[in-house]
Amino acid sequence: MKMQDVTRRWAAPAAILSLAAMLSLAALPQTAAASATREGSAQINYKILPSIKAQVVPNYQSSFGPTGGLGSGSTPAAGPSAVLGGGTVDFGNVVVGYEYLYKYAAQVSVQTNDASGFVVYGEGATDLNGSNPVPAPSTWPLQQTLFWLVSNAANTAFSPASAFNKTSGTPLGANGSNGINYGAGTPSPASQIWVNPGAGNVSQGYDYELRLSGSIPTSQFNVYIVYTVIGN
């Protein structure tokens, strides 16, 4: 089972220095050609527009990968498409009816000069898409299957976590591989995963939980998780 991360950011353009110059001259009377003087002052006002840069790194720490599945009779291991600092979040082979925790699944890094801070949203571009073999039905509800929580060494497959929602926007590319188009809107407030109140260069890591109900069909499932960053 694979989850692929896509970064999307909504922000002002890269930092632009906008100069608005006001020139104020005070002309003094000329007393003699030989001693003519000019005095004055100039005032320059400028404003730096807020900017945001964001990056998502899958499998961001060396001990990444799935744990859990207690009682399933199998030992979870990351699939072949999961590599340190890249690839996809690949749970590998998991057993229906059990719960798993994927450690260090994704790290979101944001750099901004906006003193008002930013909000990060995480959504599925679709529900889970089944293949190899294609199940019936071919998709499975994301909201009841995949969950997120802030990375912590104490996390387990049974730690409290929040569900990823399927977007109400329009997926771009095959199954949302190029992100999500929200039109003139924004992601749902229910999809907020991080609110940062100020400027800076900051990062936050996330683990994923997989909860496989006994009714989910046997298949390989994939979904794109899209992260969107919006300035406050």
Model pLDDT for residues 17-28, shown as the tens digit of each residue: 223 333 434 444
Q: Which two tokens stand for residue 145?
A: 């299957």
State residue 26's pLDDT score. Answer: 43
State residue 41's pLDDT score. Answer: 78
Is 112 in contact with 125 (CB distance < 8 Å)?
no
State residue 82's pLDDT score. Answer: 96
Q: What is the mean pLDDT of residues 15-40?
A: 46
Instruction: Tell me which DSSP letter residue 199 carries.
Output: -
Least confident of 24-28, 95-99, 113-117: 24-28
Least confident of 58-67, 155-164, 172-181: 172-181
* Cis preceding linkage at 58, omega within 30: no
* Cis preceding linkage at 133, omega within 30: yes
Identity of the amino acid at 36: A
State residue 35's pLDDT score. Answer: 58
- The residue to which tokens 């997926």 are assigned: 171
State residue 1's pLDDT score. Answer: 60
Nearest Cα to Cα of residue 222 among 168, 167, 161, 177: 177
Q: What pTM value is reported for the model?
A: 0.82
Beta-sheet strands, E only, within 69-199: 82-83, 86-87, 89-90, 99-112, 118-124, 128-131, 139-140, 146-150, 162-163, 165-166, 170-171, 180-181, 192-196
Identity of the amino acid at 187: P
Over residues 175-228, the pLDDT tens digits come to: 999 999 999 999 999 999 999 999 999 999 999 999 998 889 989 999 999 999
State residue 49's pLDDT score. Answer: 82
Percentage, residues of the chain above pLDDT 70: 84
State residue 155's pLDDT score. Answer: 98
Instruction: Tell me which DSSP letter residue 34 carries.
Output: G
Cα 142 from chain centroid (whole Å): 17
Is 120 in contact with 5 (CB distance < 8 Å)?
no
Please give the Cα distance from 68 to 138 (Å, whole number): 26
